[in-house]
Amino acid sequence: MSLDILKERGTPLERQEFTWKEIAGEPYSKLDDDAFTRVRQILMHGVEQEACRLKHFAARFNPDLRLPLARVRRVEHLQATMVNWLMPGDQSPLETTIGYEQVAIEVTAHVAAVEPDPYVAQVYRFGLLEDFDHLYRYAALMDRLCGKDANNILQSYTDVMPGRPTSVEHRAPEDDLRRHYEKATAAPLTKIHAALITGSEWQTRDYYLTVGPSFADPVARQLYAEIAAIEEQHVTQYEALSDPRETWLEKWLVQEATEVYAYWSCYSQEQNPRIKRIWERFLDYELGHLHLVGELMQEVERRDPAELLPREFPDPLSFTSHRKFVRETLAEEVGLRARGFDIVPPDLESPASLAYRERLNAGGSPSELVAAGYRWKPGTELTDRRVREAEFVSLNQEAAQ
Amino acid sequence: MNKNDRPTDIGINRTGIALSPVDGPLMTEGATARPPSSAGSARDAAILRFRYAVESGEIGHMPPPLSLRGVTQAAVELIKGHKGNVLLDKLGERLAFERTGVRLFDGLILKFEASGSWAGGPTLEDLVSFRADEARHFEWMVEAMTALGADATAMTPSADLTAVESLGVLQVISDPRTGLAQALHAQQIAELADVAGWELLAALAESLGHAELAAQCRLGLAQEHLHAASVARWLRAHVEAAAHGELARAS
């Protein structure tokens, strides 16, 4: 199935309408729907959030674009809401968090595997191993705090085991910047990937900052604070991949193309017919946005948007388990670190990052603490008799040490 | 099909590992092959929690007393000092719980209308009558706090915690995807807590010499006992009918 984005005109903006009943429609089932339905829902909310964010920043710098930005942004906001409201009320913030990490792993793994620029692909693999570790930490928290199995959410698609330890992911800001692609020579897919993953990581950062303090448990509060800090680093890393010399309209066009590509990918693989119709409808909305921005580009910059867009998209994002790719990456690259723009062997790590990390972890590491000695087991670690029947020993003396 | 009959139908629940005959064993093999990134156990986090528990302040405190004008001398004597605050905190707790209880029954009545009942299940009159009990209990608590010179609109620490405790109950009852039987199962938690709450308040009022308040609490307790027993009976009738395949006929 291919999509000719220059030919397909989509739904015109003036016909992109909503009712509250549609926006707050029936959510997916946490129990019955495929885990990748949740993955798509979380991803697309992140993409829509990024769409709104970019347009807000663009409006601050482009007085002449404010009206079209506001018009399209209003629709994007309602799309974001409708997509996020697919999340069911019986899904706890920690269960949703497991879903967020599954998105970060499976979508980044796909992007890393097909990214045409080798340097950019390495950056995705680097980030992937960090999000992979976050899943392990949150799964340990879910098991040990709530007595629940993260695999009820993951549905066996994504491994739960240590990646690059979260405690060593803390880096000095200068080691989170990356070299950007060249706007004139980069493949359209490289630009789309950068917009996609930046948006996804940003919503993860925001989500952890929002739900972290809703936990009463101090270990959960520390862990969310710690992982939110890494997500902030990831946003820094991924947004650095975009060429800062792109015009606002170029960035807007790339963003709309990203949304078209992502909704098309969702539509092509969704199993839930009701949710598939939403992806189809929003694919048409995004095609409408894309052509509107294309017309603005012709008007304002006197350029043909077709120069910047792929005539046809390559294969859609693959919403499947990337276990093999992730394990191979883990085996080969878990020890890597970052120094300046480069991904380097551990012995070349920058002194600035080492010093920063040492200060931050001086009072202990929440991610190490929560998963101390933890191995995921189907049905939680309490299925292990040794854990279940562990002898009671008072904490008083130990805590005093 | 009636919603009360749906949850135990065989569907496509995908949460268990057995549904993934290829991926499931890979998950287990991978998790077993790779060692934890650090030694230790759940005890490491427990030590941190212990330290927080020792160092943390409280969730909140009782509000300062209002002007005691218009409050009888006997009442002033009864609420002076710590014992008064303990009583007011617990009165505030019951007040909040009963007020939320009214809203829980609003939700249950809506469920009844949307998905119906079953043989041996509640009637609409039962639910309406129980709602009225909760509303009356709320009113009693407002009157009792006001008579003691307290601000009945304040959220006392126990009122706050009881609302946190009940969050899941409200979440289940207000979810349009749940049926009346599922919602009543959530309500059972509230009713059992209500019984215990009135029992405790009656005993406290008695021990502090509030004979009239204690008598009122005993009346509340009797009504909550009836609620709890009724909910248990309705749920038993539901599971028995479901297990014998009689639910569709019954509802």
Which helix (H) or strand (E) segment is A197 a member of? Answer: helix A188-211
Residue B251 pLDDT exceeds 50: no
Alpha carbon distance B226, A218 (integer Å) = 40
Q: How far is A348 from chain B (nearest CA, A)?
A: 22
User: What is the rounded average pLDDT of the residues B196-205?
Assistant: 98
Helices A35-61 and A93-114: angle between axes, nearest 10 degrees: 80
Q: What is the pLDDT of residues B97-106, one digit of tens each?
A: 999 999 999 9
Contact residues for B152 (Cβ-Cβ < 8 A; gap 6+):
B92, B95, B141, B142, B145, B146
Please report residues of A whose CB lies closer than 8 A to that of B13.
Answer: 31-32
Confidence of residue B7 (pLDDT cuts 50, 70, 90): low
Tell me, what's the pLDDT at B128? 98
Residue B250 pLDDT exceeds 50: no
Q: Are A398 and B43 in contact (CB < 8 Å)?
A: yes
Backbone angles phi, psi at A339, to 5 degrees: -140, 115
Q: How far is B161 from chain A (nearest CA, A)?
A: 12
Residue B3 pLDDT exceeds 70: no
Task: Answer positive or negative: Cα dihedral of A305, A109, A206, A232.
Answer: negative
Q: How far is B47 from chain A (nearest CA, A)?
A: 5
Tell me, what's the pLDDT at B38? 92
Backbone angles phi, psi at B215, to 5 degrees: -65, -40
What b/e readout covers A172-181, taking b as 16+ CB neighbours within 10 angstroms?
beebbebebb
Q: How far is CA A10 from CA A249, A312, B150, B175, B209, in A?
A: 20, 15, 63, 35, 76
Q: Are B13 and A34 in contact (CB < 8 Å)?
A: no
Mutant choice from B37, B174, B185 vs A, greatest count of A C-beta within 10 A: B37
Tell me, what's the pLDDT at B124? 98
Residue type, A376: W
Which helix (H) or strand (E) segment is A387 a member of? Answer: helix A385-388
Alpha carbon distance A189, A187 (integer Å) = 5
Tell me, what's the pLDDT at B248? 65
Confidence of residue B11 (pLDDT cuts 50, 70, 90): confident
Q: How far is A396 from chain B (nearest CA, A)?
A: 8
User: What is the rounded average pLDDT of the residues B103-130?
Assistant: 97
Tell me, what's the pLDDT at B4? 63
Q: Are A372 and B54 in contact (CB < 8 Å)?
A: no
User: What is the rounded average pLDDT of the residues B50-78?
Assistant: 79
Q: Are A395 and B47 in contact (CB < 8 Å)?
A: yes
Contact residues for B106 (Cβ-Cβ < 8 A; gap 6+):
B131
Mutant choice from B9, B15, B43 vs A, greatest count of A C-beta within 10 A: B15
- Candidates A73, A120, A103; CA nearest to A256 is A73
Residue A4 DSSP class: B
Q: What is the DSSP string of B132-195?
A: HHHHHHHHHHHHHHHHTT--TTS--HHHHHHHHHTHHHHHHHT-TTS-HHHHHHHHHHHHHHHH
Confidence of residue B83 (pLDDT cuts 50, 70, 90): confident
Q: Within 13 Å of residue B156, how many CA atoms lie on the same side as its CB?
A: 24
Query: What domains are there in chain B, each with its CATH number?
Result: 20-250 (1.20.1260.10)
Domain boundaries, chain A: 13-400
Confidence of residue B74 (pLDDT cuts 50, 70, 90): low
Q: How far is CA A200 from CA A39, A45, A46, in A?
A: 11, 8, 5
Residue B1 pLDDT exceeds 50: no
- Do residues A400 and B65 touch, judged by C-beta distance below 8 A? no
Tell me, what's the pLDDT at A398? 76
Please report residues of B whose CB lies closer than 8 A to that of A160.
Answer: 27, 31
Mutant choice from B6, B22, B44 vs A, greatest count of A C-beta within 10 A: B44
For residue B44, give the nearest of A155, A165, A372 by CB distance: A372
Tell me, what's the pLDDT at B77? 62
Q: Which residues of B touch A (CB under 8 A)?
A: 11-17, 19-20, 23-24, 26-28, 30-32, 34-52, 54, 171-172, 174-175, 177
Q: How far is CA A19 from CA A353, A360, B189, in A?
A: 50, 47, 36
Query: pLDDT per position in chain A (401 positions), as tens?
Result: 678 888 899 999 999 999 999 999 999 999 999 999 999 999 999 999 999 999 999 999 999 999 999 999 999 999 999 999 999 999 999 999 999 999 999 999 999 999 999 999 999 999 999 999 999 999 999 999 999 999 999 999 999 999 999 999 999 999 999 999 999 999 999 999 999 999 999 999 999 999 999 999 999 999 999 999 999 999 999 999 999 999 999 999 999 999 999 999 999 999 999 999 999 999 999 999 999 999 999 999 999 999 999 878 889 999 999 999 999 999 999 999 999 999 999 999 999 999 999 999 999 999 999 999 999 999 999 999 999 998 888 888 777 66
If one compares B32 and B10, the residue with the highest pLDDT of the two is B32
**Longest distance between any two alpha carbons in chain A, whole Å:** 75
Q: Are B30 and A327 in contact (CB < 8 Å)?
A: yes
Mutant choice from A39, A92, A146, A155 vs B, greatest count of B C-beta within 10 A: A155
